[in-house]
C-alpha cells in the first residue's frame, strides 16, 4: 500500500516516518521464508499460537476504542473490527491448529511470550489511558503493516505455498477494505488534535510498528521468558 496520495496528512507522515522500519519488517527472515514457503513449521506454529493469544488482547483494545469513538459510525466500525479479530481470524488459526494438533488445552497452557505480552499490554494500556486519536494511531500498524506484508508475500509466493491460507487472508479484498477504513478513521481523528496530541499519535504509531517487528522476530527465534 504505497500510494498515499488520497490520504490525509497523519497517515502519510506516520508511514513516511516509519518507512525504514516497515521495510525491515517486509524483508525480515520470518516473512522472506514465509513467502518462499520454506519457513520451518515450528516457527510458524509458535507464531500462530502467539497470534491467537494476541488477537484476544487486540479485540479488547478495539472494543475500548469503540467505547471512546466520538460518533455512532465509529462505535460500529471498531466494534465490528473487534468481532472480526476474535471470530474471523480465529477461524484461520483454527485450521492451522487442527493441522498441527494444537488442542484447546495446549493453547491455554502456552503462555504469552515477552513480545506478545508487551504488545498486548501496550495496546490495552493505550486504549484505557489515551484519547481516541492516540488509540487509533496505536491500533493502525497492526492493520496496515499486515496488509503491506500480506500483499508483498502474495506477489512472490507460489500457489502451493504451505502457508497459503494465511497469505490469502491478509492479501484479500475484505482485509483491504478494513485497512482502508482504519486509515480513514485515524486520519479523521487526527484532523482537530493539537500539536502535543499529534506527537503522541506519532509515538503510538512508531511504538506499535516496533512491536510488530518484535512479534515476528520473536516467532522466528522461538523466544521465551529467560526466567
Residue 25 in any domain: the answer is: no
Residue 141 in any domain: the answer is: yes
DSSP 63-77: HHHHHH-SSHHHHHH
pTM: 0.93
pLDDT of residue 159: 87
pLDDT of residue 8: 52
Residue 7 in any domain: the answer is: no
What average pLDDT does this structure show over 71-78?
98
Please, which pLDDT band fits residue 226 given cuts at 50, 70 and 90?
very high
Domain holding 88, by residue range, is 40-221
Contact indicator for 21, 51 with CB cutoff of 8 Å: no
Residue 124 in any domain: the answer is: yes
Domain count, the chain: 1
Distances (CA, A) of 186 to 37, 178, 216: 34, 12, 24
- Which tens digits make up the pLDDT trace of 80-119? 999 998 887 677 777 888 888 888 899 889 999 999 999 9
Burial status of residue 149 (CB atoms within 10 A of its CB: 0-12, 13-18, 19 or more)? buried
Residue 35 in any domain: the answer is: no
Supply the CATH number for residue 80's domain: 1.20.910.10
Residue 21 in any domain: the answer is: no
Residue 141's nearest CA partner among 158, 126, 153 is: 126
Residue 11 in any domain: the answer is: no
Please, which pLDDT band fits residue 7 given cuts at 50, 70 and 90?
very low
For 210, residues 6+ apart whose C-beta sits below 8 A from its C-beta are 21
Mean pLDDT in the chain?
A: 92
The larger pLDDT score, comparing residue 18 to residue 173, is at 18
- Which tens digits make up the pLDDT trace of 177-212? 999 999 999 999 999 999 999 999 999 999 999 999
Residue 67 in any domain: the answer is: yes
DSSP annotation of 113 reads P
Amino acid at each position: 500500500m504505497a500510494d498515499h496520495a488520497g490520504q490525509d496528512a497523519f497517515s502519510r507522515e506516520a508511514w513516511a516516518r516509519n518507512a525504514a522500519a516497515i521495510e525491515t519488517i517486509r524483508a525480515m527472515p520470518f516473512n522472506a521464508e514465509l513467502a518462499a514457503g520454506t519457513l520451518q513449521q515450528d516457527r510458524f506454529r509458535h507464531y500462530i499460537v502467539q497470534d491467537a493469544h494476541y488477537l484476544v488482547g487486540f479485540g479488547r483494545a478495539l472494543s475500548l476504542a469503540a467505547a471512546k469513538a466520538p460518533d455512532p459510525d465509529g462505535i460500529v466500525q471498531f466494534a465490528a473490527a473487534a468481532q472480526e479479530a476474535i471470530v474471523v481470524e480465529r477461524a484461520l488459526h483454527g485450521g492451522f491448529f487442527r493441522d498441527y494438533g494444537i488442542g484447546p488445552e495446549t493453547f491455554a497452557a502456552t503462555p504469552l511470550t515477552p513480545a506478545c505480552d508487551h504488545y498486548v499490554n501496550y495496546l490495552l494500556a493505550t486504549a484505557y489511558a489515551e484519547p481516541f486519536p492516540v488509540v487509533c494511531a496505536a491500533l493502525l500498524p497492526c492493520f496496515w503493516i499486515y496488509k503491506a506484508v500480506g500483499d508483498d508475500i502474495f506477489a512472490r509466493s507460489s500457489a502451493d505455498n504451505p502457508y497459503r491460507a494465511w497469505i490469502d487472508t491478509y492479501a484479500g479484498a475484505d482485509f483491504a477494505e478494513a485497512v482502508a477504513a482504519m486509515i480513514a478513521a485515524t486520519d479523521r481523528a487526527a484532523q482537530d488534535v493539537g500539536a502535543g496530541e499529534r506527537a503522541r499519535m506519532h509515538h503510538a504509531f512508531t511504538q506499535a510498528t516496533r512491536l510488530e517487528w518484535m512479534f515476528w522476530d520473536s516467532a522466528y527465534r522461538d523466544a521465551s521468558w529467560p526466567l
